[in-house]
Amino acid sequence: MRFLPSLLRPLARALFCVCAMLAGAIAQAGAPDCHGIRDLVFVAHLDDDLLFMNPDVNANIEAGGCVRVVYLTASDAGEGEAYMLGRERGVRQAYAFMARQPDIWDEGIGLVQERRITRFVLRGNPRVELWHMRLKDPWLGPGWGSLTPLSRAESEAGQDVDTLGSQRETYTRDGLVRALAGLIQQYHPSTVRHLDDTISVPYTQLCWRCAGHGHPDHIASARLVREAMRQAPGNYAEMGYIDYPSQERASNLGEAEMAGKSLVFQHYAWNDYHYCAGPSGCREPAGPAAAWVQRAYYVSRQDIAPQLYADGRGGLVVFATGETNGAANHWDLNQHRWQSLGGRTGEPLVSFAYADGTAGLMARDPLGGVWANKQRHDGSWQGWQALAGTRVLQTPVVAPLGEAAAVALGYDGRLHWVAPTGIDGSWGPWQALPVLARAAGTPAVARGADSRYVVFASTRAGEIFYTRQLPGQAGWQAWRRIPAPSAAGGLAAIRNPRQQVELYFRQRGNNHLTRLLESGDTADLDMSWGEPEDLGLPYVGQAAIDADAQGWPMLAVLERPGGALWLVEQGKAARLPAEAASPPAMLRVDDSLYLVARSPGRVQRYQVLSRTRGQWNAPLTLDDLPAGGGGPFAALAARPQDVPRLGSGAGEPARVVRPSASQPGSLTLERLPAQTTRPAAP
């Protein structure tokens, strides 16, 4: 009967799977209300989330959101199961403190891809879950400069990694990716958070406290998570976090954020004997941890397009998200340097025009909140105002020509609309558009022939739909599908001089820029479309769109990351003498056309290409973005007394790029002149 155990093992595993599936179904049936927030956090070690991702994770718990943290390694440092369990007690105590609940947890087993993962659910707030994959985590050598089991499995073919503890598993690299993808698919997150995958130093050349270096487990975990995200696409935001190198940057947390982050980490440190022997006499956070709890920075992929705005005097204002300061910035042309507008973000910005002719700027924070800032008439800024009520997956988009109305895809999978309520910088509530099943990607918006807005969106299957504003206060029509080839994002739309809407998108399969032209009665709510026109130009990211002096569409695109910029006019594409890391921004100001894109390379700088009355000017480079200046949006919020104030302010005025009056073929950098109030647009 020696063969009986071998027969029973598959049966027992199958029975375990059935029980785990039933338990999962029961848990789903009684799932807590997440208030629209489902954070899925992946980190290598027990404390990475507390040091590098807070205060963001803490803020979502305080907002009533669901948070599942997945720790890939046992974090045992080769010291065995006892040390691992102590550190696990530490994170449980820290999360109970964040949730303001007793440190009482229900332990169980989660099943993902038939893998068993130890799971803890906070009894007083079951929205908070901690999952432990427990991959063994000693150095495979003397220490720094060596591999770890996780980094070896990630980087060397044929290697695997075992787990520590009672739930024994062995993972290959492929098995890790599939398990992480399964966790994403199972949880349906609104945001996936991970560490920094962009550090290019080889694992065996990394060193402790070397500038720009990280831990091999941090890098490996993030690379595996990003590969898992490609296998498990969906409507969720992504946030990558700078880890060790954040200590090399300016402090960017508010005092209350620092204090809260320090207290949370201290609750962990009491249980990790490498930090403290317990609460008595514990001085943590200290050393590098004291620097990390003062900072939160986000991974940049050097591919965010800048934003442009016409100053009303023939000049150009440039806005950019800082890759080092993680803030909104504008180019200060009087001092030939950038100025920070504050905030804390790693996302694109969007610029637009208020009805009184002043500039507006929108930013998305790491929690999905949208903030707007309004320029005063002397060029200074009122401060950031929260557009509360909806969390969005990406920065909103506005119509071409920068009109102040925006649309964004929300955490709830629905597209939402928001518009100002006056010229004082105040905004109305978010309005949910009709449901579009499986909406995905970045939408586009344009004004139709009747001056009402049209919103375009695509689905995960690549179908393109539109909805139009109905007359009066009747809301929006149901989505209507446009007959077109399957799309892969890149939507852009604008109305031409014949009052027809032109829609552009990236065709799935060949990535070509493709054009659709509205046909038939342009006043009809049911829009008709001509045959799609493949322009034969592959591109990445979003297309920049504007109108020439006669109102005909112009587009600028990036062929590939680090590749050529192209300008499309009258349906013809011309390659420009420039290569870029980001898609371009484009704006026509009087007789000049401006294209601005991030230059390739590690240093963040922008190249300004301009054409005045048909002649290209010498390019201009904007560099030296500030190292500091970031912080909580709320710390630079508009005061109530400032919101209606349209006069002068104490802030730094913006600066502009404009064609030189004395040196044809060149650009000048000037202070933004004071503006007089202009009548509101009808």
Strand 307-310 with 237-240, pairing: unpaired
**Pair (224, 357) in one structural domain:** no
User: What band does 637 get if pLDDT is binned at 50, 70 and 90?
Assistant: confident
- Would you say residue 362 has pLDDT above 60? yes
HEC string of 312-329 equals CCCCEEEEEECCCCCCEE
Cα separations in angstroms, 80 against 134, 347, 629: 11, 41, 43
Tally of domains in the chain: 2
**Pair (459, 512) in one structural domain:** yes
Whether 23 maps to a domain, the answer reads no
Q: Using the 3D structure, point to which of 262, 292, 322 is the last residue of a domain.
A: 292
**Which DSSP symbol is given to 403?**
B
**Pair (378, 249) in one structural domain:** no
Q: How far apart are CA 594 and CA 577, in angstroms?
A: 14
- Would you say residue 486 has pLDDT above 90? yes
- Would you say residue 1 has pLDDT above 50? no
Question: How many CB atoms sit inside 10 A of residue 174's CB?
Answer: 11
Q: Using the 3D structure, point to which of 243, 264, 292 is the last residue of a domain.
A: 292
**Pair (522, 400) in one structural domain:** yes
- Please give the pLDDT value at position 219: 99
Cα separations in angstroms, 121 against 55, 103, 130, 213, 525: 21, 11, 7, 34, 51
pTM of the model: 0.90
- Taking residues 269-279, what's their average pLDDT? 96
Q: How far apart are CA 573 and CA 31, in angstroms?
A: 53
**Pair (387, 273) in one structural domain:** no
* Average model confidence (pLDDT) across the chain: 89
Whether 513 maps to a domain, the answer reads yes
Share of the chain above pLDDT 90, in %: 79
**Pair (537, 632) in one structural domain:** yes
User: What band does 366 get if pLDDT is binned at 50, 70 and 90?
Assistant: very high
Coil, helix or strand at residue 459: strand
Whether 28 maps to a domain, the answer reads no
Q: How far apart are CA 353 and CA 288, in angstroms?
A: 44
| Lowest mean pLDDT segment, chosen from 179-188, 347-356, 416-425, 531-540 | 416-425
Whether 466 maps to a domain, the answer reads yes
User: What band does 332 get if pLDDT is binned at 50, 70 and 90?
Assistant: low
Q: How far apart are CA 48 and CA 399, in angstroms?
A: 40
Whether 13 maps to a domain, the answer reads no
* Cis bond before residue 485 (omega within 30° of 0): no
- Mind listing the pLDDT tens digit for each residue in 579-623? 999 999 999 999 999 999 999 999 999 999 999 999 999 999 999
Q: Cβ neighbours of residue 305 under 8 Å, at least 6 residues apart? A: 348, 541, 542, 544, 582, 583, 584, 585, 597, 598
- Taking residues 409-438, what's their average pLDDT? 93
* Nearest CA-CA partner of 538 in 564, 570, 521, 513: 513
Q: Using the 3D structure, point to which of 241, 262, 292 is the last residue of a domain.
A: 292
**Pair (92, 170) in one structural domain:** yes
Say how far residue 559 (Cα) sits from the centre of its chain: 22
Whether 679 maps to a domain, the answer reads no
- Would you say residue 423 has pLDDT above 90? no
* Nearest CA-CA partner of 245 in 304, 299, 191, 286: 299
Whether 543 maps to a domain, the answer reads yes
Q: Cβ neighbours of residue 573 under 8 Å, at least 6 residues apart? A: 513, 535, 536, 537, 566, 567
**Pair (232, 318) in one structural domain:** no
Q: Identify the H or E element spanning 396.
A: none
Query: Hey, what amino acid is at 132?
Result: H
**Pair (258, 348) in one structural domain:** no
- Mind listing the pLDDT tens digit for each residue in 198-231? 999 999 999 998 999 999 999 999 999 999 999 9
Q: Which domain holds residue 559?
A: 307-671
The CATH number for 562's domain is 2.130.10.10
